[in-house]
Amino acid sequence: MIECENRSQEEIIKELCLCNGLSYEMVAQEGSDTSKLEMFFSGYPRIVGLSLFPDLTSLTIVAQDIKEISGLETCLQLKELWIAECCLEKIGGLQECRNLEKLYLYYNKISKIENLEKLLRLEVLWLNHNAIKNIEGLQTLKNLNDLNLAGNLISSIGQCLDPNEQLERLNLSGNQISSFKDLTNLTRLRCLKDLCLNDPQYKTNPVCLLSNYSTHVLYHLPCLQRLDTFDVSAKPIKELADITAMKKIMYYNMRIKTVERHLNEDLEKLNDRKCKLQKLPEERIKLFSSVKKNLEWELAEFKESGKGHNERSNNNKVTELEKSENCETVTEEPSLQQKILTKLNALNERITFWNKKLDEIETIYQTEVKQKKKSQGLLIPFLVIELETVGNTHFEEGSQADDWFNSCYELILSRFCTWDFRAFGITGVKVKRVIKVNNRILRLKFENKLQKFVDNEDMHDSESYQNMLECLFYVFDPEGTVKKKHLLQILEKGFKDNETSKLPLGKEAVILANSLSICECPRIEFLQQKYKDEKKTSFEHDLFRHGILLITKVFLGQHVQAREQHSISQANYPMVNSVFIPRKYLLNPIVRQRNCDCNFRQCKWFVFDHDFVLPEYIVEFEYITVVKPHSLFSSFNNVILEESKKNSEGSILSQDLKFDEEVIKMEPRIKPTPKLISLDDKTILSLAKTNIYSHIVSLNLHGNCLSKLGDLSKLTGLRKLNISFNEFTCLDDVYHLYNLEYLDASHNHVITLEGFRGLMKLKHLDLSWNQLKKSSTEINVLCKHITSLLTLDIRHNPWQKPATLRLSVIGRLKTLTHLDGLVISEEEATAAMKFITETKITQSSLLQHSSTAEERPRVLSIWPSAKILTQMSKLGPHSHLNGSWYLKITALNLDGQHLFEITNLEKLENLKWASFNNNNLTNMEGLESCVNLEELTLDGNCISKIEGISKLAKLTRLSLNNNLLTGLEKHTFDNMLHLHSLSLENNKITSLSGLQRIFTLIELYISNNYVAINQEIYNLKGLCNLVILDMYGNIIVWNQESYRLFVIFHLPELKALDGISIEPPETECAKDLFGGRLTSDMIVERQGHSDFIQMQELNWTSSSIRTVDLIPVDQFRNVCNVNLQNNNLTSFSGLIYLPNVKVLCLNYNHIDSILPRLKPQAHLTNKQLLYQKVPSSGYGQQGTSKTNRDTMSNENLPPIMHSLEVLHLGYNGISNLIQLQLNRLKNLKFLFLQGNEINQVEGLDNLEVLQELVVDHNRIRAFNDSAFAKPSSLSALHLEENRLRELSKLLPLVKLEKLFLGYNKIQDMAELEKLDGISSLRELTVYGNPICRKMQHRHLLVFRLPNLQMLDGIPVTSDDRAKAEFHFSELQAKKNSLIPVINSPVDGGSFGQVRGSPIKITNVILPGGFSHYLRSDFTLNPEVEDKKNKTVGILTNNPRSIHAEIAFQQLRGINLSPSLLSHQNMATQTAQMYQSNQDDGRIPGSHFPRANQM
């Protein structure tokens, strides 16, 4: 046989040699020298003849019909082997090729990776284009650096590549990998540089079709140089992936915190309800306890009465009356003692009854808490799945506004049959929550598989295809509740093989149903039987009341009804996709008893292909039962609440309350005594019924109003003290009672045991029904100062850590025999000692809960790094220890270890990530040496102050949720230059001032604290990197109107607030609502204090202010100067309520009325509706419409701003003075309206004390009859740069001294002659008018106005008057002699000098900061105005503006410099100004400073 085979091999070799033109003999002779052999053509059926090539190092066999690897036993030197495009079905025959470095087996039919264990030197392995389903058999290939598994059937990576640490290139394209989470397994391949999952030569992996695929891979594999044949080595690409991942983590961290917060809110509501329900039982217990303590004290006295009687009989001072009383007491004692005992028994029964009520309420509370947590328990895992899948699995909670929510509701109701549930007392079903599942991975699988089915079946009829789609309920295992882990696995991975129900023949199918009863009845029956067998006392209907349904979208495909003789399996139904069983054939006896129409439609389905079942909706529901549920909000408990208010007849508890009253009224009754408020020596002696302090052994102060004991040091013999039912908040007054053995301090308000010391003989202590919270602190006090304590009662105190309180007390107070009325057993004492031992950080606990990983794992998770690392890799108690083992620790997770302090961390210098959640820590000391800490988590402790972490400069994340913090120290975070996440939720913080300098902060969670005032938000304005802020549950949320928009406006960089993303429309609304508001808060922010009373000046220019809202107004009563120039005001807004404003500058605004002009509600825009919500003082005060206001008589409007004397309204675009309502400013003296669009001077007739009016640079053509009809005090009128042609209406201004008419349209000399009627005129300007072209106007005016002192800026001298008189006398003479009047050259020359450059003046407004008015030695320096930029303020240096200045400074009592009034200087300056600005059209002046100064 062997010879035959050898002969056959020899023939094959000879034939190959012949085909290739080679001599067989030559090959046989020279084969030993050959190192490389290649075979490319067919005709080589199996590997033979290689014994001729013993030194072969490279063998290539391509496109041969080889089915197995053989004949390589002699190729011991082989390093490279190619067997490609053959028909290999199995890997084998390579055991002797131990030097093999490269193995290429692509394009074969290999289905399993095997028999490679001995190829320890293998570096390259190509198995692409085979039929491999699993990655396996590579454990020993430590040197493998290139692995190609593309084009196979691999669906999972798992941990199979973990041993291949040297792997650099990996190609998994063309497989069936679909999970992001599966890709994270590659993070353990530290050397991986080239990864291919989407090679263009292969089909795409399903995972590559998911959103954020590249981002996910690049974030988890930062060392990659190439991805899917693309170069990804550029730094910006990696940074983009990191930033995207960080944003995702931040977002889901915010979402998860929001869910936790909502759960805590619900639990808090339950707790509040429980406390209200417990109020009545607690009050009854307190009442009975008070009476009981009185009786017990009386009984103790009676038992000692014999001894006391004998002592008093021997006392000579006992009176006869006392003797008779004692005799009566002795005779009545037996019956009275029996009555006391009887009443005590009755009181104890009532206390027991009400304690039972308390326990019932607590049981119901715990049940509801459990149900609430269970209901919310899925939301956080859902968000975690969303994060891990980078949003490709998304869960959406529905509401009645969603169509799909209503569809689900209707589907459940339509498939609920009351008849089916009648036996369980169920009458209906109520849907509580519907969550939509959007799993992109599973949906792609479902759609692809469905498309393949449709294509294979050649289904052209869409109706038949649609009929195969159905919505069915998934049938969970009835023998147990729905396990969260199982449900999450289905939602994330679908109904995989390990998730489907196993049937008798071992085949698998997904079990579904179209009926609620088929899903739920087996579960209900099982629970009922379970509790019946265990004989547990529970509310029957509460066992099954709540449930979960999983609604799936199912493609039934080809389906048939199940045959009774065949088990349901794919083998028995090979040609179908699903099988169904009608309900009437189901074997459940309870189901068979039902008889309704629903039976014909209800079926149980079995789907064999799990990819045809797509989970779509999760429904949480509650059954409606005949018996109402026991709830904290049920009617039974509402009765308890009502009973706490009044005793209603016929109610559930009325009989019990009557019975309570009967017990209280039982004999003997306690006579009421006056309650003591204070304690003195006389009172003590009276209560003790003795005159000697040292004889007082017991003292009963029960049931008084005492808050202090005072000095009891004289009571050296006191052994028993009862101070229950008083008002004590501390017990520091008992420290000197060294012989005290019994102390009852129950039913007080004790909040601390500090000062409670020196009671070394105390054996019995009752501290029940107080307000003690800090368990660790209070136990420390008892351990230190009370060493002989036997019994202790600390029930009914609001302890912070009640779960471990009993063990803590027993473990530390070793002398105790009774705690809270219960005997301490030996087992309990042992457990307590063990508990105390475990509350300390030891070497063992460090090793057990630490990790040495040098880098934080790149995983998409919101959990603390310490938790992630310690779960992935732990040192463990058996780790090899050496002298520096502690230096290797980088992560430490000591959550839930019940630690009371942080110790033994001095040597952990390289600790980076630490977590101490849910312990009993009261401070942060012990971390000073851990200077490399980057993350620190201390949630759920009892820390009251942030201290001891100032040296942790590298800290990036700090979490102190659920502690007792009350404030943030100012410089606590100054050294933390890398802190970007700070979480301080559920504390008692009132101020954010300590956060001002954390400039790197990105996330701030400070919900459920006590932040109350708006100014606290300003502390965050400097944090320009802050993008996530959560302040939900703080007082400011309810105190601040439009709180959300307020925060969004002041922190414009925010992206999310209180767990909700900030949308662009919200930002716009915030700007509309709060933009341009001058508020008290803004002033506080700029000044740094809120002492508004000291303010006298308010200067806020160029700040886009639209409204003024200064509250409280009374605080601004000393403000007299206001400058709001260059803003966007449309009215005086809240300024009208400032009581003492004298000077108001509003130039360059948009003022059209003193008060806001409100439109009717129907015509308001959205922006204006927002304004109405602002509590601005000005809005809402004037309700008249525009038309009514225009026609209303201004005289009927009440006056406002009584102190206002100077008003600047220049350049506001004012056109209608009546609408402006200036008549209401009764005491106005100086009014500046230059630069507006006024065409009529009106609406000023009621300003009786007005002295100066400036209306330069307007559009006035003429004056109407009423303009100056009323007598007024006007002494200066500025009308330059208007369009005046006639002056007749000015004659009523009899007190006018200064009139400025420059640059108007006056042409007729007769108009100037009309000024004769104003005899008081002292100063006049008419330059720039057409009349000035005639030289006679100056002579005329000088001649006709005898009191004129200044004309066109030039003083009128006696020579001028002489010339004017001569001129007019000459004219008169010529006229009389009928000689024509001719202007002589002499006349022209004589007046030429008078017509020097005229002054063109347009503006009069205040300079910045009013400093001009505060100095008398100011100078006026002209400045050229930039035509392109709007100036803040302009002061013109011209005669009429000088007069305005003079008038204003005289008003303020300031003396003017004589130089200011120099006519020569004035003329020179005005001439220069005109010369340099004649093209500008107006003269610019000094500006207000742009910077706002207070």
Residue 1490 has pLDDT above 60, yes or no: no
Residue 1290's Cα: distance from chain center in Å?
A: 68
Q: What is the dihedral of CA 702, 705, 710, 712, to 10 degrees?
A: -10
| Average of per-residue pLDDT values in the chain | 80
Residue 530 has pLDDT above 80, yes or no: no
Predicted pLDDT of residue 1290:
86
Per-residue pLDDT tens digits for 1247-1297: 889 999 999 999 999 888 888 877 778 999 999 999 999 888 888 888 899
Q: Which of 805-809, 855-859, 1095-1099 has the lowest mean pLDDT?
A: 855-859
Residue 348 has pLDDT above 50, yes or no: yes
When mean pLDDT is compared over 54-68, 454-468, 1227-1241, 1397-1411, the highest value belongs to: 1227-1241
Residue 1066 has pLDDT above 60, yes or no: yes
Q: Which of 337-341, 816-820, 1345-1349 has the lowest mean pLDDT?
A: 337-341
Nearest 5°: phi and psi at 1421?
-110, 115
404-432 burial, b at 16+ Cβ within 10 Å, e below that, comes to ebeebbebbeebbbeebbeebebeebebe
Average pLDDT over residues 1419-1426: 37
pTM listed for this prediction: 0.76
d(C-alpha 680, C-alpha 689), whole Å: 14
Q: Quick one: pLDDT band at residue 1382, thresholds 50, 70, 90? A: very low
Average pLDDT over residues 867-891: 73
1102: part of which helix (H) or strand (E)? none
Predicted pLDDT of residue 784:
85
Predicted pLDDT of residue 471:
92
Q: Which of 47-51, 413-417, 805-809, 1449-1453 has the lowest mean pLDDT?
A: 1449-1453
527-564 burial, b at 16+ Cβ within 10 Å, e below that, comes to beeeeeeeeeeeeebbbbbbbbbbbbbbbbbebeebee
Q: Quick one: pLDDT band at residue 593, thresholds 50, 70, 90? A: low
Say whether 817 sits in a helix, a strand or coil.
Answer: coil
Predicted pLDDT of residue 592:
47
Q: Which tokens hold the place of 139?
A: 């454990």
Average pLDDT over residues 571-577: 85
Average pLDDT over residues 691-713: 85
- Pairing outcome for strands 578-582 and 559-561: parallel
Q: Quick one: pLDDT band at residue 693, thresholds 50, 70, 90? A: confident
Say whether 722 sits in a helix, a strand or coil.
Answer: strand
Predicted pLDDT of residue 1231:
95
End-to-end, the C-alpha distance of the chain in Å comes to: 114
Q: Which of 98-112, 622-636, 1032-1046, 1169-1183 has the lowest mean pLDDT?
A: 1169-1183
Predicted pLDDT of residue 637:
53
Per-residue pLDDT tens digits for 181-235: 889 999 989 999 999 999 999 999 999 999 999 999 999 999 999 999 999 999 9
Per-residue pLDDT tens digits for 133-149: 999 999 999 999 999 99
**Residue positions counted in the chain:** 1494
Q: Which tokens hold the place of 821?
A: 């009325």
Average pLDDT over residues 373-387: 89
In 1287-1431, alpha helices (H): 1309-1313, 1336-1344, 1358-1376, 1385-1392
d(C-alpha 433, C-alpha 548), whole Å: 10
Q: Which tokens hold the place of 911?
A: 């600790």
Contact assessment for residue 129 and residue 109, using Cβ atoms and an 8 Å cutoff: no
Q: Quick one: pLDDT band at residue 544, thresholds 50, 70, 90? A: confident
Query: DSSP state, 1404?
Result: B
d(C-alpha 930, C-alpha 939), whole Å: 19
Rg (alpha carbons) of the chain, rounded to whole number? 49
Residues 6 or more apart whose Cβ sits within 8 Å of residue 333: 302, 305
Contact assessment for residue 1047 and residue 1022, using Cβ atoms and an 8 Å cutoff: no
Residue 1161 has pLDDT above 70, yes or no: no
Q: How far is CA 1042 from each of CA 1175, 1252, 1452, rounded to the nearest angstrom?
A: 11, 45, 43
Query: DSSP state, 1245?
Result: T
Residue 341 has pLDDT above 80, yes or no: yes
Residue 1378 has pLDDT above 60, yes or no: no
d(C-alpha 726, C-alpha 744), whole Å: 11
Residue 732 has pLDDT above 90, yes or no: no
Predicted pLDDT of residue 692:
80
Predicted pLDDT of residue 462:
60
d(C-alpha 414, C-alpha 673), whole Å: 70
Q: Which of 247-256, 1177-1186, 1481-1490 has the lowest mean pLDDT?
A: 1481-1490
Nearest 5°: phi and psi at 1410?
60, 15
**Which of 629, 667, 660, 631 has the alpha carbon at shortest distance from 643?**
660
Q: Which residue has the higher pLDDT, 826 or 1460?
A: 826
DSSP string, 878-935: TSPP-TTGGGG--EEE-TTS--SS--S-TT-TT--EEE--SS-----TT-TT-TT--E
Contact assessment for residue 754 and residue 726, using Cβ atoms and an 8 Å cutoff: no
Q: How far is CA 946 from each of CA 43, 48, 257, 965, 991, rounded to the nearest angstrom?
A: 83, 80, 22, 8, 14
Q: Quick one: pLDDT band at residue 1203, thresholds 50, 70, 90? A: very high
Q: Quick one: pLDDT band at residue 590, thresholds 50, 70, 90? A: very low
Residue 689 has pLDDT above 90, yes or no: no
Residues 6 or more apart whose Cβ sits within 8 Å of residue 561: 579, 580, 581, 582
Average pLDDT over residues 1085-1112: 86
CB neighbourhood size of 647 (10 A): 14
Q: Quick one: pLDDT band at residue 810, thresholds 50, 70, 90? A: very high
Residue 93's Cα: distance from chain center in Å?
A: 64
What residue ranges in 1274-1427 does DSSP mark as E strands?
1276-1278, 1298-1300, 1323-1325, 1350-1351, 1354-1355
CB neighbourhood size of 1165 (10 A): 10
d(C-alpha 817, C-alpha 1405), whole Å: 89
Residue 418 has pLDDT above 50, yes or no: yes
Query: DSSP state, 1280?
Result: -
Predicted pLDDT of residue 1310:
86
Q: Which residue has the higher pLDDT, 916 or 1015?
A: 916
Predicted pLDDT of residue 231:
93
